[in-house]
C-alpha cells in the first residue's frame, strides 16, 4: 500500500516541490536549444515514446533526472541551468538521452517494484517480533522467522542497490547509442562531476537558508550520479588542463580525446590517474556497494567499450598495470577502525558475565584501541610536500588511512 501510494502520488508531489520549493520553470520543447529539440523529437519518435515534459532549475550545479508514472508516456526530465551552460551539444544530448533511457526502460516502475521486496521482508520481521504466545515453541519459531526475515531484508537492500546500478548502465547505453557517441556521454560525466565539485559552494550560496541547501541536496540524490563519490576523480581529471577551449580535434594524451565545451578540456593522463583509486582500492568497492550509482570510473570503462562497438575513439583506455594488491591495507584499515567497537562489545559482555571485576581491564583495552586508531588516522611527524592533484591520485588512502602531506 505504501509503495503504491508513493508510486501514484510521487510524481505529483515532485511536480509541486519543483514548482514551489525551487527556482524552477516549466519549458516547452520549443524553448530548448534547437539541436536538443531535434534530438528529443527524433529519439521519441524512433522509440515510440511521448515527448517528455521539461523543467529547468535555476541552479549552477550541473545535474539531471527524470521521473513519472508510465515513463515512456508521461516522463518529466529536469535539467539545471548549470547543465545547459557546461556541456556542448553532443554531451548535453547524451545526458538527456540517459534520462530518456530511464523512461524508455521503465526504470521508475521497476525500481518501485524492487523496493517492495525489502519492505515486505521488514514487515514480516516486525510482525514476527511482535508475536506474543504462552507456547515456548511458538515464541522460538517466531524469533527464528524474525531473524531470518531481518537478514533477508539486509540482503535485499543490497540487491536493490545493485539493481539500481545496473539500470544506470542500461541508461548510459541508451543515451550513448541514441547520440551515436559514447565518448560524448563520458565527457559529460566527467564535466558534470567537476561542475558539482567546483560549483557546490556557488549553489549553496544561491539557496535561501539551510532549508534551501537541504532541498538542493535532496534533488542531487536523484541525479545522474553521486557527485560526492565523483569529486576526487573530477577535480583530478581537470588538474593541469588548459582553462581555454581546446580545438575539437585536439587530444591531450594517447589515452583520451576530450574536446572542450567553452570552459576547459579534460586531461586524459590525469583522468587515468584519478581512475586508479576507483578501480584498484577495495574501499571503492565498499562505497559502491552502498550507492545507487556505479562509480564514475566504471561507467567510463563501460562507455569506452561501447565506443569500440560504435567505431569511435574511446574517451579513455585504462591499460595501467596494477602494481600490487591493496587488500592487505584494506584489512589493516578495517581492523583498526573496528577494534574499539569490538572491544567495547566484549567489555560489555565481560561485565554482564563476570560482574565489574574484569570490566576495568577491558575498558583500558578499548581506550588503547581508540588511541591507536587516532594515531593511525591522524599521524604526526614531518611529511613531504604534495600538490592536491598528487594527493588525489594516491591509491593507498582511505577515511581511516590517510596520506599525510606537508
The tens digit of pLDDT for each residue in 109-135 reads 888 889 889 999 999 999 998 887 777
Residue-level pLDDT, tens digit, the chain, 406 residues: 666 676 677 777 887 888 888 888 999 999 999 999 999 999 999 999 999 999 999 988 888 999 887 767 888 999 999 899 889 999 999 999 999 999 999 998 888 889 889 999 999 999 998 887 777 777 788 889 999 999 999 999 999 999 999 999 999 999 999 999 999 999 999 888 776 655 544 444 444 444 444 455 555 456 777 666 665 565 555 543 333 333 334 333 333 333 344 455 677 777 888 888 889 999 999 999 999 999 999 999 999 999 999 999 999 899 889 999 999 989 998 998 888 888 888 777 766 666 655 666 777 888 888 888 888 888 877 777 776 667 767 888 887 777 776 5
Compute CA distances 2 → 13, 38, 97, 157, 340, whole Å. Answer: 15, 39, 31, 17, 39
**Burial environment of residue 145 by CB neighbours within 10 A (0 to 12, 13 to 18, 19 or more):** middle
Q: Which residues in 309-319 are b (16+ Cβ under 10 Å) and which e?
A: eeebebbbbbe
Rounded to 5, what percent of the chain is helix, strand, coil? 65, 5, 30
Where do the domains of the chain lie?
2-106+164-310, 331-392
Q: What is the pTM of this model?
A: 0.81
The residue annotated as part of the active site, out of 91, 93, 99, 168, is 99
Q: Is residue 312 annotated as part of the catalytic site, yes or no? A: no
Place of cell 539541436: 35
Strands (E), 129-174: none
Question: What letter does residue 399 receive in the DSSP assignment?
Answer: S
Q: Helices (H), strands (E): how many in the chain?
A: 16, 6
Dist. CA 67–CA 72, nearest whole Å: 10
Are 185 and 177 in contact by the 8 Å Cβ rule? The answer is: no
Dist. CA 122–CA 115, nearest whole Å: 11
Those residues with Cβ within 8 angstroms of residue 288's Cβ, 6 or more apart along the chain or in another chain: 165, 229, 294, 295, 298
Taking alpha carbons only, the member of 113, 111, 122, 99 closest to residue 172 is 99
- What order of strands is seen across the sheet that includes strand 53-57? 24-27, 53-57, 76-80, 64-67
Amino acid at each position: 500500500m505504501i509503495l503504491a501510494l508513493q508510486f501514484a502520488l510521487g510524481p505529483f508531489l515532485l511536480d509541486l516541490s519543483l514548482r514551489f520549493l525551487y527556482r524552477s520553470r516549466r519549458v516547452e520543447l520549443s524553448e530548448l536549444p534547437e539541436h536538443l529539440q531535434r534530438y528529443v523529437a527524433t529519439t521519441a519518435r524512433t522509440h515510440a515514446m511521448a515527448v517528455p515534459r521539461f523543467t529547468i532549475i535555476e541552479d549552477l550545479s550541473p545535474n539531471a533526472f527524470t521521473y513519472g508514472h508510465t515513463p515512456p508516456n508521461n516522463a518529466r526530465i529536469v535539467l539545471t541551468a548549470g547543465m545547459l551552460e557546461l556541456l556542448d551539444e553532443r554531451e548535453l544530448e547524451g545526458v538527456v538521452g540517459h534520462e530518456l533511457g530511464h523512461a524508455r526502460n521503465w526504470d521508475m516502475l521497476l525500481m518501485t517494484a524492487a523496493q517492495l521486496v525489502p519492505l515486505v521482508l521488514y514487515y514480516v520481521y516486525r510482525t514476527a517480533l511482535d508475536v506474543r504466545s504462552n507456547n515456548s515453541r511458538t515464541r522460538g519459531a517466531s524469533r527464528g522467522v524474525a531473524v531470518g526475515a531481518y537478514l533477508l531484508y539486509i540482503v535485499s537492500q543490497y540487491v536493490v542497490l545493485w539493481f539500481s546500478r545496473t539500470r544506470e548502465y542500461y541508461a548510459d547505453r541508451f543515451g550513448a547509442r541514441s547520440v551515436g557517441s559514447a565518448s560524448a556521454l563520458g565527457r559529460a560525466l566527467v564535466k558534470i562531476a567537476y561542475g558539482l565539485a567546483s560549483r557546490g559552494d556557488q549553489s549553496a550560496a544561491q539557496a535561501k537558508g539551510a532549508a534551501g541547501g537541504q532541498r538542493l541536496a535532496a534533488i542531487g540524490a536523484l541525479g545522474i550520479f553521486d557527485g560526492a563519490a565523483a569529486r576526487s576523480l573530477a577535480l583530478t581529471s581537470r588538474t593541469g588542463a588548459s582553462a581555454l577551449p581546446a580545438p575539437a580535434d585536439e587530444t591531450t594524451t594517447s589515452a583520451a580525446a576530450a574536446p572542450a565545451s567553452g570552459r576547459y578540456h579534460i586531461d586524459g593522463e590525469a583522468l587515468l590517474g584519478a581512475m586508479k583509486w576507483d578501480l584498484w582500492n577495495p574501499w571503492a568497492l565498499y562505497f559502491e556497494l552502498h550507492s545507487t550509482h556505479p562509480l564514475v570510473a566504471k561507467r567510463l570503462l563501460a562507455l569506452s567499450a561501447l565506443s569500440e562497438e560504435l567505431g569511435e575513439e574511446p574517451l579513455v583506455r585504462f591499460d595501467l598495470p596494477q602494481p600490487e594488491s591493496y587488500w592487505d591495507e584494506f584489512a589493516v584499515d578495517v581492523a583498526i577502525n573496528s577494534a574499539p567497537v569490538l572491544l567495547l562489545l566484549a567489555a560489555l559482555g565481560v561485565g554482564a558475565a563476570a560482574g565489574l571485576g574484569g570490566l576495568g581491564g577491558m575498558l583500558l583495552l578499548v581506550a588503547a584501541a581508540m588511541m591507536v586508531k587516532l594515531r593511525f588516522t591522524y599521524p604526526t611527524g614531518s611529511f613531504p610536500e604534495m600538490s592536491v592533484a598528487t594527493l588525489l591520485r594516491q591509491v593507498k588512502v582511505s577515511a581511516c588511512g590517510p596520506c599525510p602531506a606537508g
